[in-house]
Amino acid sequence: MQMYIPYQLRVKLQQIDPILDPQWQQDLSLLLASTPEHLHPKIEDEYLKPKNIHWNYLSQLFEFKGHIGLHELHSYIQHSGLLQLAQKIRATFQHLKKYQTDVQIADYLETITYEINSLELQDQKDIQAQQLLKNAFLYDAALSIKQTNFSVTPNFRGLTADQVRCFIFEIFIKSEILGSWFAHILPSEYAQQELPIFQDYFSHEQHVRDFEIIRTSAYYFIIGSSWDSRVSSYSIRRFLTEENFGVVNKFYISGLVLDPKQIEVADYFENFKQQMGKMIGLQRQMNPHIVDLMESLHYYNQHHLRQKIMQMLEIRGFSVDHLINEHLKEIEKDLCVYILEPFQNGLKNSIQQPDELEFCFLNIRRLMSELLHSFEIFSQEPAIQFNPRARQFKYRLIAYLNLLKQRRAYIFVQFEDQDHYQHHLNLVTTPLEQLRDQVNGAIEQCRFLQQQLRQLERAAKQSANTTFLKRLMSKSQNNSNKINELKTSLIEVHHRCYLEIIRIQKHFSQHSLYLESKNLISSDDPKVRHYAFADGENGITRLPLLLQLPENRDNFNLQSIALVLNQDVVHSAKHWVID
């Protein structure tokens, strides 16, 4: 009997939100009705109770018992800076109640959310407290906005107050709360959707436009991706903006609303397609070499790589962990050799105009999203779920996908000359070289100190076997002090190296990620933090380097970090061996 919750179900459970979703009880009931009953207690314990959702045996309904508001945070947070910020934010609610336009509300929500997200915290308990503060603010704000009748800025799309409110609650706020768990409909899932428009129209549009489709309680939102990694694709201000070019009916939009109840109404679909044309897409004929390349990469991913991931479910034997680890190495090798390296060669040698760069970005992002989705599904099998290498592989896929977006301006660009290209390569190699130099230098220092320490400890041992008079005349006390000093120096070397790794990541933050801080992975183990650094040629041809640091620097293992870094050097210096 299957006792784990499948990935697709976990995603759907994460989307349930009693404050933001008007139909959450109905959605939850339908979800549980299609789920095996033996999983219900596990779902209740792991997903519903943490959201403060409980079953009422009298009414036979799920009930929401409330959220942690800003006024309660002093009972959950010890960080003085976060508590002071919470007090400041709470004082601003008097202004929120007076706002009467969608733009005012958007500015208010995004300004404060940005201020919270901009806090650079390192300790995981502080990062969790930061997320708790953000959740408390957004939920308090949502409850206030529910009571607000605001006007909508005149717009060509005919957006209504209900649609804007839905976007605020179920797109912007929910995406900020859920982070990487926030769900959109993948292109591979279009065939499963009830509306024919997904297969008949959106499948084609995916080839010429970069967008996501998000289903909410009442509408589908079609959201174009943001070129600027600092601006969320789910920004309210960005969604509301219509950039007019000074010509009648000539404007650019980043998002659309599709009302499934109106799709059969005369002219509705035609008007929708006209508005879709206002989203920036590919304007020129693509170089056939680039089109053929991307089609071949999608084909390999669909028919070979994803099939290889499925083969992990068939692994059996006493040494199952070893076999899974070897299989993961094969998957990574095939990903690099047959997808990432050809993709980089195409970018470097076949690009002729900017639209082809956009085409490459949206295709490789879609491919890696599909790959990650496939791995997420199968990584829930018990043999894979608890395998450390499989978990790290998933984190590296997540990091690669996010670094693609974050480093978009460094990858998808036409280089002026070899020097310009080399400069971009150095942005990836420099932090890795600094990490290796720092760690290897710390190891050398430790070896020197340990050598001195062993000599003194041998001398102290020999001194213990001499006569009392000789010991009295010796410098045993001095040796004891030196031994303590050397042990202290060893600890200090470890601590400095630990802090230097963090400093390097911060300095090269455009080319690296602190995964927990970005809310890209859940903090299942609060004692460990994960740092990912772009790797391979221009950060494309290899999955990111992943470093795991203990939350407590006293537990920092210098040798394990050195092993990861030096293995990466070996792999980077040689080509994959093709069977």
Are 148 and 79 found together in one domain?
Answer: yes
Query: What total of structural domains would you count in the chain?
Result: 4
Of the candidates 218, 221, 168, the residue with the CA atom closest to the CA atom of residue 26:
218
Please tell me the predicted confidence (pLDDT) of residue 102: 95
Are 333 and 430 found together in one domain?
Answer: no
Residue that the structure tokens 């896929």 belong to: 397
Residues 272-287, mean pLDDT to the nearest whole number:
76
Q: Identify the residue with better confidence: 480 or 164.
A: 164
Q: Domain end: 224, 243, 276, which one?
A: 276
Are 487 and 449 found together in one domain?
Answer: yes
Q: In Å, how far from its chain's centre is CA 332? A: 19
Please tell me the predicted confidence (pLDDT) of residue 140: 96
Instruction: Locate 149 and state its tokens.
Output: 């009748």
Residues 39-57, mean pLDDT to the nearest whole number:
92
Q: What is the mean pLDDT of the chain?
A: 87
Distance CA 30, CA 35 (A): 9
Note whether residue 422 is domain-resident: yes
Give the pLDDT confidence of 301-337 residue by residue, as tens digits: 988 998 888 877 666 665 777 888 888 999 999 999 9
Q: Domain end: 64, 79, 112, which one?
A: 64
Are 303 and 351 found together in one domain?
Answer: yes
Are 103 and 203 found together in one domain?
Answer: yes
Note whether residue 345 is domain-resident: yes
Note whether residue 395 is domain-resident: yes
Q: Compute the C-alpha angle 206/208/209, nearest 5°.
A: 65
Note whether residue 281 is domain-resident: no
* Confidence band for 283, pLDDT divided at 50, 70 and 90: low
Residues 129-156, mean pLDDT to the nearest whole number:
94
Distance CA 353, CA 414 (A): 8
Q: What are phi and psi of 234, to 5 degrees?
A: -100, 15
Give the pLDDT confidence of 169-193 residue by residue, as tens digits: 999 999 999 988 899 998 888 989 9
Please tell me the predicted confidence (pLDDT) of residue 75: 92
Are 346 and 269 found together in one domain?
Answer: no
Q: Identify the residue with better confidence: 548 or 4.
A: 548
573 has pLDDT over 60: no
Segment among 153-157, 293-297, 308-312, 514-518 with least mean pLDDT = 308-312
* Confidence band for 8, pLDDT divided at 50, 70 and 90: confident
Please tell me the predicted confidence (pLDDT) of residue 455: 83
Note whether residue 473 is domain-resident: yes
* Confidence band for 470, pLDDT divided at 50, 70 and 90: low
Q: Identify the residue with better confidence: 574 or 220.
A: 220
Of the candidates 442, 440, 450, the residue with the CA atom closest to the CA atom of residue 494:
442
Are 388 and 343 found together in one domain?
Answer: yes
* Confidence band for 49, pLDDT divided at 50, 70 and 90: very high
Whether 258 contacts 201, CB under 8 Å: no
Please tell me the predicted confidence (pLDDT) of residue 526: 74
Are 547 and 461 found together in one domain?
Answer: yes
Q: Domain end: 15, 37, 64, which one?
A: 64
* Confidence band for 466, pLDDT divided at 50, 70 and 90: low
For 434, the domain range is 418-573
Note whether residue 2 is domain-resident: no
Residues 416-422, mean pLDDT to the nearest whole number:
89
Q: Identify the residue with better confidence: 99 or 479.
A: 99
Local structure of 412: helix, strand or coil = coil
Of the candidates 180, 263, 265, 277, the residue with the CA atom closest to the CA atom of residue 515:
180
Distance CA 115, CA 153 (A): 25
Whether 437 contacts 567, CB under 8 Å: no
Whether 170 contacts 20, CB under 8 Å: yes
Q: What are phi and psi of 419, to 5 degrees?
A: -65, -40
Are 24 and 123 found together in one domain?
Answer: no
Please tell me the predicted confidence (pLDDT) of residue 282: 60
Please tell me the predicted confidence (pLDDT) of residue 247: 47
Are 401 and 330 found together in one domain?
Answer: yes
Which residues, 6 or more positions from 85, have their beta carbon under 8 angstroms from its beta carbon? 115, 116, 119, 133
Q: Identify the residue with better confidence: 501 or 376.
A: 501
213 has pLDDT over 90: yes
Please tell me the predicted confidence (pLDDT) of residue 251: 63
Q: What percent of the chain has pLDDT over 70?
A: 90
Distance CA 113, CA 120 (A): 14
Residues 207-234, mean pLDDT to the nearest whole number:
86
Are 308 and 386 found together in one domain?
Answer: yes
Note whether residue 1 is domain-resident: no
Q: What percent of the chain has pLDDT over 90?
A: 55
Please tell me the predicted confidence (pLDDT) of residue 429: 94
Residues 268-289, mean pLDDT to the nearest whole number:
80
Q: Identify the residue with better confidence: 278 or 158.
A: 158
Please tell me the predicted confidence (pLDDT) of residue 571: 61
Looking at the DSSP assignment, which residues form a beta bridge with residue 251?
Answer: 244
Note whether residue 392 is domain-resident: yes
Residue that the structure tokens 């990062």 belong to: 127
Residues 202-215, mean pLDDT to the nearest whole number:
86
Residue that the structure tokens 């010796």 belong to: 474
Residues 344-366, mean pLDDT to the nearest whole number:
88
Are 482 and 402 found together in one domain?
Answer: no
Q: Compute the C-alpha angle 104/108/112, nearest 5°.
A: 165
Residues 466-472, mean pLDDT to the nearest whole number:
53
Give the pLDDT confidence of 543-553 residue by residue, as tens digits: 999 999 998 98
DSSP 8-state symbol, 2: -
Whether 150 contacts 99, CB under 8 Å: yes
